[in-house]
């Protein structure tokens, strides 16, 4: 697996929220969830820095990875910001992250 490429799956949840699902192992999920409020704050700051209207509402732990719920449909550029943030979280094993991209 290419360690520099992180894939995501995007699904719809109601009319106002969208989900970005990162498929990953339990160790990565635990590391992210331990500091989830900090990750939400930092991701929103990164999105705000690019003048995005997208805001991350919360992170949820799933059996298959994590789900990031946003307030609206994210553009490709917004998804890249979220992806880059997740890829740069300290102690995350990139080789453990795999997923699908659904448009």
Range ranked top by mean pLDDT from 2-6, 17-21, 58-62, 85-89: 58-62
The pLDDT of residue 27: 87
What's the rounded Cα separation, in Å, for the pair 9 and 39?
Answer: 19
H/E run at residue 16: none
Domain harbouring 55, CATH code:
3.30.310
| Structural domain count, the chain | 1
87 inside domain: yes
Structural domain of residue 65, as residue ranges? 9-96
4 inside domain: no
What is the tens place of the pLDDT at every residue in 51-74?
A: 999 999 999 998 888 888 888 877
What pTM value is reported for the model? 0.75
27 inside domain: yes
What is the tens place of the pLDDT at every residue in 12-30?
A: 555 556 788 888 888 888 9
102 inside domain: no
Tell me which residue has tokens 């805001």: 55
1 inside domain: no
Confidence of residue 102 (pLDDT cuts 50, 70, 90): very low
51 inside domain: yes
Give the Cβ contact number of residue 82 at 10 Å: 22
Contact between residue 10 and residue 102 where contact means Cβ atoms under 8 Å apart = yes
């Amino acid at each position: 697996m290419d360690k520099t490429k992180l894939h995501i799956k995007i699904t719809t949840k109601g009319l106002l929220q969208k989900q970005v699902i990162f498929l990953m192992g339990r160790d990565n999920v635990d590391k992210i969830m331990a500091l989830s409020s900090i990750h939400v704050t930092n991701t929103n700051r990164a999105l705000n820095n690019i003048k995005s209207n997208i805001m991350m509402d919360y992170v949820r732990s799933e059996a298959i990875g994590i789900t990031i719920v946003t307030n609206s449909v994210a553009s490709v550029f917004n998804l890249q910001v979220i992806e880059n943030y997740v890829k740069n979280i300290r102690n995350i094993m990139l080789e453990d992250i795999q997923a699908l991209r659904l448009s």
